[in-house]
Amino acid sequence: MRFSELMATDPEAIDAAFFDELRKYYSEEEIVELGVFIGFNLGYHTFFGTLKFYPLFSPDGRLLTQAESEKIYGPAPGSLKASEPSR
Amino acid sequence: MTYVTPLPREAITDPELCDLIAQSETLGVPDELFPRIIARAPEQAKPFMRALLMSHAQGNVDHKLKEIMRILLARFAGDKYFASLRSRKAREMGLTETRIDEGCFAYEDDDKGFSEAEKCALRYADLMFLDADQVNKAFYDEMKKHWSEAQIMELGAFIAFHYGMQMFMRSLGAKAAT
């Protein structure tokens, strides 16, 4: 989770010590898998955000129109709202 | 040296991945460092290499324009690795370092001669991670004056993917091409 957060917000903080800490829990293969996954999502979520499309399903699994989905999920993902941190 | 040690080239034996690496070396982007790192996760390496090559060197948008956009994004991402690489194909098509710098830093200047379509595409790359709120309905309406829906998706996906991989390489401390 820290890897995800820092790559987006403070990549300078990802240093040798950070990778040493990651290696206590993850193999080199898993670290690379996580890194490309994070990079991929970092790029695409920003792009998708500009397209203004919303989840196809409600939290209880109903298929939604885009207008219905916007009402449920709001104009932006919660994690992007500065006033409503996601953690 | 990157924080994750690249695999030795001779340790990569998957024929499809070797072919993708050969293609990328011919193009010049990426050089062998990126695939030698992602080859540590072999199931990830092939689709990521395919997507990187396809989004950059294929499609229906001028490759020279995408090369300028790629370098603009790498500079913005602070990724010295991808920022230092150059597409041989774009160079052979006539793209110069002067034109790259104009595209990165002065594309809005009329005397630089970028078309309105090119300005829109460069603005798209510029704003996506600088101020995504400006990439709104009005922005897409302007894009649609110059680009088809398919081209806009091609450009958007290209921007998103390359920026993501640039941030990944920056996180690994990749400083320059090998």
Same domain? For A46 and A59 the reply is no
Same domain? For A31 and A57 the reply is no
Same domain? For A37 and A73 the reply is no
Same domain? For A11 and A42 the reply is yes
Domains and CATH numbers, chain B: 12-171 (1.20.1290.10)
Task: For residue A50, list chain B residues with Cβ-Cβ distance below 8 A.
Answer: 128, 132, 135-136, 139-140, 156
Same domain? For A67 and A28 the reply is no
Q: Please tell me whether residue B109 adopts helix, strand or coil conformation.
A: coil
Same domain? For A2 and A44 the reply is yes
The CA distance from B52 to B161, in Å, is 7
Same domain? For A83 and A58 the reply is yes
Q: What is the pTM of this model?
A: 0.91
Interface test with B, best of A15, A28, A40 (most B CBs within 10 A): A40
Same domain? For A45 and A82 the reply is no
What is the per-residue pLDDT for B8?
A: 96
Same domain? For A28 and A18 the reply is yes
CB interface of A with B, residues 11-70, below 8 Å:
11, 14-16, 18-19, 28-33, 35-44, 46-52
Same domain? For A34 and A62 the reply is no
- Return per-residue pLDDT of chain B as tens, 178 residues: 899 999 999 999 999 999 999 999 999 999 999 999 999 999 899 999 999 999 999 999 999 999 999 999 999 999 999 999 999 999 999 999 999 999 999 999 999 999 999 999 999 999 999 999 999 999 999 999 999 999 999 999 999 999 999 999 999 999 765 5
Q: Please tell me whether residue A28 adopts helix, strand or coil conformation.
A: helix
Residue A52 CA: distances (Å) to CA of A71, B141, B163: 13, 14, 20
Q: What is the Cα B161 distance to its own chain's centre?
A: 8
Task: For residue B135, list chain A residues with Cβ-Cβ distance below 8 A.
Answer: 50
Amino acid (one-letter) located at A68: E
Q: Check CB contact of B165 with chain A, cutoff 8 Å.
A: yes
Report yes or no: A49 and A77 within 8 Å, Cβ to Cβ: yes
Split at pLDDT 50, 70, 90, the class of A84 is very low
The total number of structural domains in chain A stands at 2
A79: domain range? 52-87
Split at pLDDT 50, 70, 90, the class of A87 is very low
What is the per-residue pLDDT for B175?
A: 77
Same domain? For A1 and A33 the reply is yes
Same domain? For A79 and A39 the reply is no
